[in-house]
Copies of this chain bind each other. A is one copy, B any other.
Amino acid sequence: MASGHRDIDPRRKPRQVRAELTRDRILTAAAHVFSEHGYAAGTTNRIAERARVSIGSLYQYFPNKDAVLAELMVRHIDRGTWTPADQLDLSPGTLESVVRALVRDAIDNHRDDPRLLRIMIEEGQLSAELRETITRHGEQRVAQVRDVFARHPDVDVRDLDAAVDLVVFTVELNTHRLAAFQQPVAMETFENELVDMVTRYLRGPGR
């Protein structure tokens, strides 16, 4: 593979609407292609073809293939971040309703494309910097949920940190799985059972 020069990002930044459009079409196409073929087999030529754009255009906006995936990742994180307002919206109500809101949020976040999400996280060499961002995002999410639970009167667990960790990922992973392969179990049933399990766990032994 040609290595090229090592400038940080010598690529053009869009100045006309037309260019912004092209960039978006490339990213949209990339999302589809990566999701369908995986990262390695999702070639830049395939992406360009799907975007109905020449391969040269792709490399005018992205210095290399990794950068395309990185940009998708950044966009996904931005969409999924909770503002303090979002966090407050979550807090009131019964424990069950809080948990349900959490589950719904997870489901929403996987609406777009679960396979892509996995590829973004587990394949493709993301920069150390971006990995850092992702980690921080995850930690922030855990901390936010921790906050919500800490304030809720019905929560009774031995080890709040461990509990939050378990809950967040149980919700996340199960949702992920259900979204990825259309499972036999129906969405509604799944949501109810998951909410039930988590709620009862958080409520603790008394009750």
Chain A interface residues (CB < 8 Å from chain B): 38-41, 118, 122-123, 158-159, 161-163, 165-166, 169-170, 173-174, 177, 183-185, 189-190, 193-194, 196-198, 200-201, 205
Residues of B within 8 A of A177 (CB): 169, 173
Residues of B within 8 A of A165 (CB): 183-185
Residues of B within 8 A of A198 (CB): 197
Q: Work out how many copies of this chain go into the complex.
A: 2
Bound CA span A195–B166, Å: 11
Closest to A205 in B: B200
Chain A interface helix/strand/loop/mixed? helix
Q: Separation in Å of the A42 CB from the closest CB of chain B?
A: 10
Q: Separation in Å of the A170 CB from the closest CB of chain B?
A: 5
Q: Flag if B184 contacts A174 (CB, 8 Å).
A: no
Bound CA span A122–B205, Å: 38
Bound CA span A63–B137, Å: 44
Bound CA span A198–B40, Å: 38
Closest to A177 in B: B169
Q: Give the contacting residue for A174; candidates B170, B185, B196, B197; CB below 8 A.
A: B170
Q: Flag if A163 contacts B41 (CB, 8 Å).
A: no
Q: Flag if B201 contacts A196 (CB, 8 Å).
A: yes
Q: Flag if A193 contacts B162 (CB, 8 Å).
A: yes
Instruction: Please name the 9 residue pairs, one residue from A and one from B, whose CB atoms are nearest each other, closest first.
Output: A40-B40, A197-B201, A173-B173, A162-B189, A166-B193, A162-B193, A165-B185, A162-B185, A200-B200
